[in-house]
Amino acid sequence: MKNPNIVILGAGYGGIMTAVKLQKSLGPNEANITLVNKHSYHYQTTWLHENAAGTLHHDRTRINIKDVVNTSQVNFVQDTVASILPEEKKVVLENGELSYDYLVIGLGFEAATFGIPGLKEHAYTINSINSARLLRQHIEYNFAKYNNEAAPKEERLNIVVGGAGFTGIEFVGELANRIPELCKEYDIPREKVRIINVEAAPTALPGFDPELVEYAMNSLEARGVEFKIGAMIKEVTENKLVFEKDEQREEIATNTVVWAAGVRGNSLVEESGFEANRGRMPVEPDLRSKQYPEVFIVGDCALIFNEETERPYPPTAQIAIQMAENTAANLTKLVKGDDHIEPFKPDLKGTVASLGHNDAIGVVFDDKKLFGWSATAMKKVIDNRYLLKLGGPSLLLKKGKLNFFK
């Protein structure tokens, strides 16, 4: 009897953790495991806002896949997924194809632009190492260019961030730390630079405790961040952003708009014929596809509902990692002939949002609120715990945030 083929698509939090767990629970004589990823590295999406602001080098954020995946047990294929053919149990890559008995889809997220004119063409996103690097270089270029023009343009120094959710708030927090350094480096008065956060909802950080939201906004405003709350972005052009607030249209001169207000699952999911809502697939309690029981979905492509709130769980790294652990355990059972697989039950341990170096807010351990340095320390503990789980002490020492006072 031949070994079953397990194919994992994507080396984000869900995909790479599934591979790492499977290589520990299944021997090479029990299953053929293949991990497919576009790049040779895995990256921590939750650190990309630091890369984009220029407060953390992108090499710290990316992890070589072969440093954590044992290639004698897991076949790593660096390629791009072109399509999935679930009826044929095949995956078509740009440079070949793979057959599977079990498939794990962990293809991550894309920006959702909601049809806002000009957003896709002119806004920057923070969704990969390359997009973060591009944004950092663009900001630095504008600062360098400003004093080299006969008539300096104000749009070079106005940075507008669309969305005051997690990513938007964490990014403006890093910018608030980075801008004074850039001003000093490029001889630009700090008061000439604007960091503007535009949010359509009636509050920043929707869903967060109001006391924590107030703390976050006060901290960021004290460092020069301007908030436009209840403001709907209407249009983005090459050198301006148009928004509407209280039925009044306003414009901001800017050539740096960063879109952090919406994500969707990978569009490849829908294109391959799976039932999906904005690229996120409704799944069975054990994370299997409702259409194809040999297909598991982890991370941003999975749509699972919180029974208490009747709303979908947010697509966070914490949930993706837990999905991976559940999926790897269930695949191990199936390969070993045990059909009694376990449903997925999220164990949410809390949420922490960074506001820049040495400042953060969070809710942990049954609604305990954290502010400032204690929240920053907790965020570093969470990040370091993931590295330890993924690659052991050596990866933690190599990539971890071990200085809790910086």
Give me the active site residues, please: 170
Closest CA to 64 of 391, 324, 397: 391
Find out whether 220 and 172 touch, Cβ atoms under 8 Å.
yes
What is the DSSP code (8-state) at residue 56?
S
How far, in Å, CA of 327 to CA of 288, rounded?
9
What are residue 371's DSSP bridge partners?
A: 361
Cα torsion angle, 371, 124, 227, 261, sign: negative
How far, in Å, CA of 272 to CA of 85, rounded?
6
User: 219: which residues sit within 8 A by CB, 6+ positions away?
Assistant: 173, 355, 359
- Calculate the CA 27 to chain-centre distance: 31
Find out whether 223 and 357 touch, Cβ atoms under 8 Å.
no
How far, in Å, CA of 79 to CA of 290, rounded?
27
Cα torsion angle, 385, 391, 394, 400, sign: negative
